[in-house]
Amino acid sequence: MNLANQFSLDGKVALVTGASYGIGFAIAKGLAAAGATIVFNDIKQELVDKGIAAYEEEGIKAHGYVCDVTDENGVNTMVAQIEKEVGVIDILVNNAGIIKRIPMVDMTAEQFRQVIDVDLNAPFIVAKAVIPSMIKKGHGKIINICSMMSELGRETVSAYAAAKGGLKMLTKNIASEYGEFNIQCNGIGPGYIATPQTAPLRETQADGSRHPFDQFIIAKTPAGRWGEAEDLSGPAVFLSSDASNFVNGHILYVDGGILAYIGKQPQ
């Protein structure tokens, strides 16, 4: 197979969870550009409809399903519908996720559980639903969207960091348990990306200055900028393609260098 063909996703079906917008939408656009058929889900029909329209604007005929990824029965029903209506899922991107920024001692156990449910339990549920057909088909790619918080902590994100740290190890365990079936499971660890999820960290202050956290991230990132969701498309194509058939259990950090850098000293 020549090198260019190794990156082709022609004939492949890709499910990207929570991909009406944000990082999931950008990853799905990249997979579509490489030839994949795109399937996505969201919790509400109105968001699925908006997502389908947004994909159409990009020239992509995406298949959308209403599904809460924390609902195991709902996920199993959705996967069965996809297999019947679109085809067996070759590529799963566990993207759907939430964050609650609350000091740990002020966070309720229920709030903690809600984050763990979406960011860790759901990737388990969806991966468990798609692996049997991947085994039958003889190949599969699973990409879990991890985080800087798979490696680092910070104030107010205890539940999110616990979930994303667990997701890193779930990724390594799926790789270990199903590698023999030609299933590769890897993670993408985005740095700080400009999406609705991080919008509160980038709000312009009343005096017109940049948010302190915005300035902090710029100082901590060698690239000197926030990431764009499109920065994740190429890495996702790589981990979804034959070009990564011997890459397994790896977390690919797409962070502009944050994890490598002590940070710019204050001027």
Tell me whether residue 53 or residue 245 sits nearer to ligand NAP (CB atom): 53
Residue tagged active-site, from 160, 178, 192, 253: 160
| Selected binder of ligand NAP within 6, 11, 44, 152 (CB under 6 A) | 44
How many Å apart are CA 82 and CA 92, to the nearest integer?
12
How many Å apart are CA 37 and CA 10, to the nearest integer?
8
CA 27 to chain centre: 8
| Selected binder of ligand NAP within 145, 159, 236, 252 (CB under 6 A) | 145
| Selected binder of ligand NAP within 33, 98, 102, 107 (CB under 6 A) | 98
- Asked if 69 and 75 touch (Cβ cutoff 8 Å), the reply is yes
How many Å apart are CA 167 and CA 151, to the nearest integer?
11
The reply to whether 178 sits near ligand NAP by the rule CB under 6 A is no
| Selected binder of ligand GCO within 26, 99, 131, 170 (CB under 6 A) | 99
How many Å apart are CA 2 and CA 266, to the nearest integer?
48
CB of 73 to ligand NAP, least distance (A): 14
The site string for ligand GCO over 110-149 (x = CB under 6 A, - otherwise) reads -------------------------------------xxx
How many Å apart are CA 221 and CA 159, to the nearest integer?
24
- Sheet of strand 63-66: strand arrangement: 63-66, 37-42, 13-17, 91-94, 140-145, 183-190, 251-254
| Selected binder of ligand NAP within 30, 64, 166, 190 (CB under 6 A) | 190
CA 141 to chain centre: 13
- Binding-site partner at residue 86 among ligand GCO, ligand NAP, none, CB < 5 to 8 Å by type: none
- Binding-site partner at residue 157 among ligand GCO, ligand NAP, none, CB < 5 to 8 Å by type: ligand GCO
How many residues in the shown chain lie near ligand NAP by CB under 6 A?
29
- Asked if 146 and 164 touch (Cβ cutoff 8 Å), the reply is yes
**Which residues contribute to the site for ligand GCO (CB under 6 A)?**
99, 101, 147-149, 154, 157, 160, 190-192, 197-198, 201
